[in-house]
Amino acid sequence: MIKLVVFDLDNVIIDGEGIDEIGKLVNIEDQIAAITEQAMQGDIDFETSIKKRVGLLKGVATEDIKTLASEMPLMKGAEETVSTLKENGFDVAIISGSFDIIADTIKGKLDVDKIFTNSLVEEDGILTGEVTGPLVSGSKLDVLSSFIEEKGYTLDECVAIGDGANDISMIESAKYGIAFNAKPALKENADIIVETRDLTDVLNVIIHLNSENTEGDADVDKEVAVETEVVETTDVVVENQEEEQVADATEEVVEEIEETEELVEEAEEEAEEAEEVVEEETAEEEEAEPAEEIEEIEEVEEAEEAVEEEAAEEEATEDETEEEAEEAVEEEAAEEAEEVAEPAEEKPVKEAKPKKSKKKNALPEPDFDLADTIEGVRAQKDEREERIAKVAEEREAFNREAKEQRKIRDELNSELKENLAKAIEFRDQRNEINKQVEENKKARNKVNDEIKSLEWSSGKKDRVRIENEIKKIDKIIETRVLDIKKENQLVKNANDLRKELAEIKEDDKVKEEAAELKKQSEEYHAKVVELSEQAQEAHEQMLAYFRKTDEIRTAADEAHKLFIQARKNASAKHEEFKMILSEIHVINKKLGSSKNRKRRSEKSSGSSNNKKNREEKERAESIFDKFKNGKKLSTEELLLLQKYDIN
């Protein structure tokens, strides 16, 4: 996942080459541009080129460079790109061989997190022709590596954007290196090439790359801990220190937005996945419900067969031979084959669906040895009937537990969605308040600039200068031993300055205008403080709901695990139930000779019974079709299904 985006400065963030523009101040831009081009193409190393170019700037005034920096144009799309990246949770840095005197101005315009540059050496406001800094002899990769180590990132979490040969080291090492309107030497080493001079095209690439890397990620195990500094002041005009404090508070709130953006997205994705899991499980459970009712039918069948066979055993004579029992079993098998054949010929289409269902729910083949005597077989039957009753009870207990845990899980998932919605609501509220903070801060700063301009234009600059000179003279007179002539001269100078100060009159109109502006500044600042407190409160509410969401998710996960385990246990018990039931069927066949004779006797009573049986079987098939479509069955209907072995 991408966390850090690093830009070069010249010809990337700003539309131009900083040192070339400085060269224009002393008409040496052509010489500097030629050296710059050699470095960009990779024909000379960067250290050599920067020292040669800076050497040509000896004697340039730093005030002129600062004016130039404030006027240098940003690259098209720079403001939108940086602000969007920060809103989406990225850290944004600039690593450039250019100079801090230019980069600091850009940092203020774009609110970049960190800037690494070189420094021009000056004495008394004049360049000496020397340069210092981490990027004179060191590479951009060295600076980047040190920065990501400090932040706890890796190169695989970084995107680097540059345009020249000195960017190659960081372009090659970052997860993605983007050549922006670059020289051929850099394009050969880049992962992605953007040929336009619009940084929003780079923004689109980064957003796309990050969406690919974070797709499917639904972990929400982060806890955000943020403290927002609230600025308090009693001064009417906000001076530089106060402005920095308010800016820090605003930046912290903005950083909180970025840190929690991924948390929100991941929480939303996890909620969607949880909902999908619930839907899938619900579908599985709905499919399983008919099987549960079939199990109930089988239990009824087993119970009825036990009753029939007990009656058959009471009617059977004690002197029945083994040969007669075998003959009865063979005749019973022949009769059942005839009954199966008749519906198959009359209704072949209807027979297809029961066959499929029967195959799916067919009983397993039993693997046990029947006792040698009838008494032994009956003992086996008694033992299995006792076991099957116990297994059925255990299975139902697991089914009840599964339903209970499913209900708990579904309720928790519903509560989770509500908490997540609340968290997002407070996040949006906080973001909206932060926009108002920024608007009021800009308005306040604008008024403060107007106040300063007004005061200086009204003679304040001259008054301050004269007052400082008078203080300096007074201090010399008080602290030094002077001859009378020199002391008299200093006293005269101070008196002359006081006369000059008295002649400087403050414009009443300007004074009133300044007072009104100071009042506006105070109002804007009070609004900044008030809104910052509101933003902090909304942020704390958001975090509380996110923490609650994590707690609910943990409980829902635990309920889901218990639900799955109960389902598995119930399924295992059902398989055991089917195996015992299969064994009981085998035992029943062994004990069913007298029952078979009874059926033969009933069959010989006439063809009217056969017709009745066929009609009943057709009705049973119709009932089973309705049962598969969700209809609940009465006990009579269940017994009719059991009678014709339709399951």
Catalytic residues: 8, 10
Counting every residue, how long is the chain?
A: 647
Q: Which residue has the tokens 């954007």?
A: 161
Q: Quick one: which of 547, 546, 535, 543 has its CA closest to 431? A: 535
Q: Which tokens hold the place of 220?
A: 């929400």
Kind of pairing between the strands at 192-194 and 126-132: unpaired
Place of tokens 């700003």: 14
First-to-last alpha carbon distance for the chain, in angstroms, is: 54
Which structure tokens are listed for 592?
A: 């069913």
Residue at 372: amino acid letter:
D
Nearest to 271 by CA among 416, 440, 124: 416
Sorted by sequence, the CB contacts under 8 Å of residue 406 that are 6+ apart come out as: 281, 285, 559, 563
Helices 593-603 and 322-346 cross at an angle (nearest 10°) of 50
Distance of CA 385 to the CA centre of its chain: 55
Instruction: Write phi, then psi, for 493 (nearest 5 degrees).
Output: -60, -40
Cα distances (angstroms) measured from residue 626 to each of 24, 253, 630, 633, 637: 92, 63, 7, 9, 11
Spatial separation of the C-alpha atoms in residues 430 and 256, rounded to whole Å: 10
On whether the CB atoms of residues 143 and 115 are closer than 8 A, the answer is no
Q: At residue 579, what is the residue type?
A: M
Q: Are 118 and 290 in contact (CB under 8 A)?
A: no
The H helix count followed by the E strand count for the chain is 21, 7
According to DSSP, the β-strands at 176-180 and 158-162 are parallel
